A and B are shown apart, each in its own frame.
Chain A
């Protein structure tokens, strides 16, 4: 081998080594605090593992129990119900708002910023805020409803499972819809204006243009927005922990809430891990669908 060739080889080798050295801290971190717990979770889920005291291997018993656990089933059903309501609400409102502010006219940017503002608010803080707004007697929202003749300020919104869920959905909508709007807005902007103009010039009505031109071209963004809200809703915890405490009568306990209860209220870490594993599978499936949808729409 000639000398210069050897030198480039060694430079490539140095670069490889540097690459390994530079990526390893981050990889070590992710391994220690993510992959290790992940394996631990699967391992623990095969055990009877109380917080204090001895743990012993029980095989798939935790999973069998989970399938027959009525509390967990109720929680899963509620989570799905919550997701099925939240997702279309967020989607329709987000899209409507995106269409509203997409034109470059005076004020549009301002309204965009205003609608997006709650997105930067934390979910827990937003929940504390709305918890107060909807308190009976002292809550400003109930008071406002009273002034407008829409309701009574003495109504306890959190006493009915439906009304409690609606207040939570209201809060989540307020906090999240701006993000959905923004994502859809970006999707809309990426549609070539001539496609839309051509359709309009061809005499298509606004509705037709929307239905046959905009919507198909928006598909990748739509998929993304939907998966965002589905995954987010399936993982709901903060808002229910803060606002309803799972009540009334345990009717607003979500899947993550049930994991929290299994591990940190009942101290059955093994069982909590089994529930976590089940949740992980569902979420991984949702994410996989997201990837598939996005990939197929790339072409």
Chain B
């Protein structure tokens, strides 16, 4: 291809630049730039618009929040929709947030600990069959957990863990583990072996060597695992919908679905959007703070 197009690369055909041409070129060069800005800004507006709707709707006074046609922005700022989250509408969203936090933190902690320990084992302490076992855990990537939800429900019921936040956390941990294992194993594998050898020669035990020497190097992977697990659990809907029966134990997204179903009356859209804001804003804030780990983790998980 390069030979075919080589002919057109003839410096002689280039026009000599003059002042007026300079101006035209300048315009021609800045035009695409302006167009680029225009397109990007338009897109940004489109992407931010729903979040704006969420915030503006949740900050409207209750009467205004139900207005038809809707107001474009809150004419009177009010926190009443947020105040109503603690059960005024028949469902306690604040308690739901508490449950979500509990389950998400629990599952995150369990996932981080289990995948760190096992990730190290898989990366450094090979034993017969360890590769096969590791591959088997990766195979769970290929099977969606939606497919095993029915027997899982029955199993948890038999274990006495159905309708229990502990059971839900266990399920979340299980489904985040393969990814955590994968990430942590790769993190540990990337640590130079000599570092660890040195520690071992210095008389450290295997665990000590891992905690003192290797783990610090693997911290970014650890943060990523924690972050992705937390987000996944905080936002999960399907399993929570099925596995939890008691309204007092509902997680945030499931509580919102009760709110949206309107309970023999109309849906309070202002309160619903306040609930949505409570769900979304923490994610956005964490993302903005820890962008590097979040994006990096997603990529390393996806591309490798």
Stretch at the interface among B17-25, B77-85, B121-129: B121-129
Q: Contact size class for B?
A: 35 or more
What separation, in Å, do the CA atoms of A198 and B177 have in the docked complex? 45
Residues of chain A with a CB closer than 8 A to B257's CB: 124, 128, 241-242
A117 touching B269 by the CB < 8 A rule? no
Given A117-B47, A276-B147, A128 contacting B272 (CB threshold 8 A): yes
Is A82 an interface position by the 8 A CB rule? no
| Chain B residue at minimal CB-CB distance from A153 | B69
What separation, in Å, do the CA atoms of A164 and B193 have in the docked complex? 56
What separation, in Å, do the CA atoms of A287 and B127 have in the docked complex? 28
What separation, in Å, do the CA atoms of A114 and B294 have in the docked complex? 15
Stretch at the interface among A36-44, A71-79, A84-92, A155-163: A36-44
Q: Mark B106-137, 1 if CB is under 8 A from A, else 0.
A: 00000000110110111011111010010001
Quick one: which of A27, A120, A263 contacts B150, CB cutoff 8 A? A263
Given A26-B181, A132-B272, A182 contacting B299 (CB threshold 8 A): yes
Q: Which of B133-155 contact A (CB under 8 A)?
A: 133, 137, 140-155
What separation, in Å, do the CA atoms of A270 and B185 have in the docked complex? 38
A40 touching B154 by the CB < 8 A rule? yes
Is A191 an interface position by the 8 A CB rule? no
Q: Mark A212-245, 1 if CB is under 8 A from B, else 0.
A: 1000000001001000100100010110011000
Residues of chain A with a CB closer than 8 A to B57's CB: 132, 140
Determine chain A's interface SS by DSSP, over half rule: helix
| Chain B residue at minimal CB-CB distance from A137 | B68
B152 touching A138 by the CB < 8 A rule? no
A263 touching B149 by the CB < 8 A rule? yes
B118 touching A122 by the CB < 8 A rule? no
| Chain A residue at minimal CB-CB distance from B114 | A26
B51 touching A22 by the CB < 8 A rule? no
B9 touching A202 by the CB < 8 A rule? yes
B1 touching A202 by the CB < 8 A rule? yes
| Chain A residue at minimal CB-CB distance from B8 | A203
A106 to chain B, nearest CB (A): 9
Is A292 an interface position by the 8 A CB rule? no
B69 touching A146 by the CB < 8 A rule? yes
Is B164 an interface position by the 8 A CB rule? no
Q: Contact size class for A?
A: 35 or more
A203 touching B150 by the CB < 8 A rule? no
Q: Mark B250-283, 1 if CB is under 8 A from A, else 0.
A: 0001001100100000000100110110011001
Residues of chain A with a CB closer than 8 A to B299's CB: 182-183, 186
B113 to chain A, nearest CB (A): 8
Given A16-B125, A280-B143, A124 contacting B39 (CB threshold 8 A): no
Is A80 an interface position by the 8 A CB rule? no
Chain B residues in contact with chain A, CB under 8 A?
Answer: 1-2, 5-9, 36-37, 39-40, 43-44, 46-48, 50-51, 53-54, 57, 66-70, 72, 114-115, 117-118, 120-122, 124-128, 130, 133, 137, 140-155, 170-171, 173-175, 177-178, 181, 206-207, 231, 234-238, 241-242, 253, 256-257, 260, 269, 272-273, 275-276, 279-280, 283-284, 286-288, 291, 294-295, 298-299, 302-303
Closest 6 CB pairs of A and B: A122-B235, A19-B125, A22-B121, A40-B151, A203-B8, A26-B118
Chain A residues in contact with chain B, CB under 8 A?
Answer: 14-23, 25-27, 29-30, 32-34, 36-38, 40-41, 44, 97, 100-101, 107, 111, 113-118, 120-126, 128-133, 135, 137-141, 143, 146, 153, 174, 178-179, 182-183, 186, 198-199, 201-204, 212, 221, 224, 228, 231, 235, 237-238, 241-242, 256, 259-260, 263-264, 269, 272-273, 276-277, 279-280, 283-284, 287-288
